[in-house]
Amino acid sequence: MNTGHPVTKRAISYIRFSTGKQTKGSSEWRQDAKVRDWLDSHPDYEPSDLSFEDLGKSGWKGAHIEGGMGELLAAVEWGSIRSGDVVLIEALDRAGRLPLMQMLNKVITPILEAGVSLVTMDDGFTYTAESLDGVHAHVLVAKIQAANQFSERLSERVTKSYKKRREEAAQGKIPKRRTPLWLDGDGKLIEHLAPHIKTAFELYADGFGERRILRRLQETEIPEFQGLYGSTLKRWLQNKIAIGNWGDIVNVYPRVVDPELFYRVQERIAGNKTTRPSSPSKHELTGIVKCAHCGRNYNYHVFKEQPTVLQCSNRFMSTAEKCENSKSVPLGVVQYILLRTSKQARIDAIQKKKLTVNQKRTIVLEGEIASLTQRLQGIARVIAATGDEEELVEQVRLLSAQRKEMRAELAMIAASGDVVSVMDQVKDIQITNDDPMQLGADLQSVGYTIICDMNGGIATSHGDCKEWQYVGYERKRDAYIVKGGEDTTAIPVAPFRETAGTVNIMAALGLELDLTKE
């Protein structure tokens, strides 16, 4: 039934890139700007909410026929895109680079025959079913052929360049390519940067987050580390050039870290995909001290000329989930309880880091096996798409043999049962005492926690005594009173007050952590 109202003419944008890396660049915005310009000059068209983006698909392989362009064609066939509508494309190579007949039959013709126009925004041409009978048909054919030939040439150049670099790498020549920050243009280690890169890997393996590590790097005031982002650091940590590899070719570049450390980092990265890491903080106990009532972290509250206290971070929320726990716990009390209960957790953390020879080899083997498996899966997908090419089959045979050998070696490695020496334990405890942030990361890595309730009760995950009570402040002795088991301890407040809230609790109480006694 005709209502007498004209049917609104719509403009539908189609955006497609050749590589996934472009999706974060300016190309998408550039295309959007062209769409806006076209709409401004064609006020009789309205932009449609119907939008198909097939970001990251390769037009040369024709993969987008089953993606965004496939949906676009389906929308034409279903009538979602109607006669009189236009599809806006930046250039014809943005609509696909299939062979000529496939391009015409699978992409262009179905759209035009449905009464839908195709507008290429690079030259302003409008293609319709009628215009294909004239000169536009020749222009269209020439453009499609040019786009296809460009893709063939580009694909050939990239393939030859990559093959040449692989051959040079296998011969011991360093490939000419963009290298990470710690290598110069000739692929040599930059000596003043290499130790700091190794430290970054060590800190990440020990539980530090990207932002904490960046803060440490930037505190060195080395110019190359200024202005970096966490995403850049993450790429470094996953780049096998760090252990000298270029793809599957080993010992191409000088190592900046050992394989054992590199694969420990990969294990943690993989674990973080399922376990949310602690938020970055300048306070070493953040993520360790938690509320017994809502489970949130305790936050530091620093006062001028007064000792620092910790409180539930959810206490001051304005939402309905606001926590009822308003009890403050002095930092000195928490530090004292940590000192009394964290001995075994510290030892566990040290043993986790200081591995035996067999344990180190196991980490390397497991990492290499995972890498080989990933590569074999990739080759299997290529074979499924292209057939049993002799070169691919030979790669599968060689890689499978390597993986089989590594699995056999892994099966032969028995746990040595070696433990870290007492002297190593004492040495590392001294290091973490001097580096509170390292201590906090270490304790979190083994699940050490301190849980505080609204009545002053404090429970720990480790220690001979796991139940504590913060009694309160005693004015007469100017001390915090803490009970643990049968013992009552008075913690002097003055050292914490005099240092604006922070002090080494061991120094304040004249204590030492003796790991030689059990």
Highest-scoring range by mean pLDDT, 75-79, 199-203, 435-439: 199-203
pLDDT confidence band for 56 (50 / 70 / 90)? very low
Is residue 325 within 8 A of residue 453, CB to CB? The reply is yes
- Mean of the pLDDT values across residues 462-478? 92
Q: What is the pTM of this model?
A: 0.43
The stretch 21-43 carries a mean pLDDT of: 62
Nearest to 205 by CA among 165, 264, 128: 264
**Is residue 468 pLDDT above 70, yes or no?**
yes
Most confident listed range (37-46, 61-70, 452-461) = 452-461
Q: How far apart are CA 217 and CA 209, in angstroms?
A: 13
Answer whether residue 421 is part of any domain: no
Residue 456 has pLDDT above 90, yes or no: yes
SS3 7: coil
Scan for tokens 């057939």, then name that residue: 387
Res. 329 pLDDT band, cuts 50 70 90: very high
- Can you give the residue range of the structural domain that contains 57? 9-150
Mean pLDDT within 369-387? 76
Mark whether 141 and 39 lie in a shared domain. yes
Indicate the pairing of strand 450-452 with strand 329-330: unpaired
End residue of a domain, out of 389, 416, 443:
416
Predicted local distance difference test score (pLDDT) of residue 513: 44
Say yes or no to pLDDT of 427 above 50.
no
Helices (H), 85-191: 100-102, 109-113, 135-170
Tokens of 254: 């000088």
Could you tell me if 444 and 311 lie in one domain? yes
Confidence of residue 81 (pLDDT cuts 50, 70, 90): confident
339 occurs within a structural domain: no
Same domain flag for 241 and 130: no
In a domain, 344, yes or no: no
Residues 463 and 490 reside in one and the same domain: yes
Q: What is the mean pLDDT of residues 182-194?
A: 88
**Per-residue pLDDT at 280:** 44
- Strand pairing partners for 450? 289, 460
Q: Please tell me whether residues 254 and 308 are part of one structural domain.
A: no
Same domain, 329 and 463: yes
Categorise residue 291: left if φ over 0, alpha if ψ from -120 to 50, beta otherwise. beta
31 and 95, same domain (yes or no): yes
Give the range among 188-197, 307-316, 318-327 with minimum mean pLDDT. 318-327
pLDDT tens digits, residue range 232-291?
Answer: 898 899 998 898 887 767 777 888 998 888 988 888 887 765 444 454 456 677 788 999
Q: What CATH number does residue 224 fall under? A: 3.90.1750.20
Between 292 and 517, name the one with better pLDDT: 292
Any idea what the CATH number is for the domain that residue 85 is in? Answer: 3.40.50.1390
pLDDT, mean of residues 418-423? 46
pLDDT value of residue 366:
81
**φ, ψ (nearest 5 deg) of residue 29:** -65, -35
- Cα angle value 353/356/359 (rounded, 5°): 85
Domain endpoint, select from 150, 181, 205:
150
Are residues 383 and 393 in contact, defined by beta-carbon separation less than 8 angstroms?
yes
| Structural domains counted in the chain | 4
Report if residue 345 sits inside a domain: no
Predicted local distance difference test score (pLDDT) of residue 163 = 63
In a domain, 238, yes or no: yes
**Do residue 397 and residue 261 come from a single domain?**
no
The residue assigned the tokens 């746990």 is: 415
> Is 471 inside a domain boundary?
yes
First to last CA, the chain: 91
Residue 504 reports pLDDT greater than 50: yes
- Where do we find the tokens 């680079």? 97
How many other C-beta atoms lie within 10 A of the C-beta of residue 182? 25
Residue of higher predicted confidence among 307 and 95: 307
Sign of the alpha-carbon torsion through 362, 363, 366, 368: negative
For residue 157, how many other CB atoms are within 10 A of its CB? Answer: 10
Assigned domain for 186 exists: no
> Are 309 and 448 within one domain?
yes
In a 3-state reduction of DSSP, which class is residue 489?
strand
Q: Which of 359-364's residues contact partners 24+ apart within 8 Å by CB, and which partners?
A: 359/416, 360/260, 361/260, 361/409, 361/413, 362/410, 362/413, 363/260, 363/263, 363/264, 363/267, 364/259, 364/260, 364/263
Residue 197 in contact with residue 181, Cβ under 8 Å?
Answer: yes
Does one domain contain both 442 and 383?
Answer: no
For residue 206, name the pLDDT band (cuts at 50, 70, 90): confident
**Would you say residue 364 has pLDDT above 50?**
yes
Per-residue pLDDT averaged across 49-73, rounded? Answer: 52
- Count of helix runs (H) and strand runs (E) in the chain: 17, 15
The CB-side HSE value for 39 (13 A sphere, CA atoms) comes to 18
Residue pair 154/161 in contact (Cβ under 8 Å)? The answer is no
* Averaged pLDDT of the chain: 74
Q: For residues 322 and 376, state if they share a domain.
A: no
Measuring CA to CA, which residue among 467, 505, 506, 512 is closest to residue 332?
Answer: 505
CA atoms within 13 A on the CB side of 103: 21
Instruction: Mark whether 87 and 111 lie in a shared domain.
Output: yes
Is residue 258, in this structure, part of any structural domain at all? yes
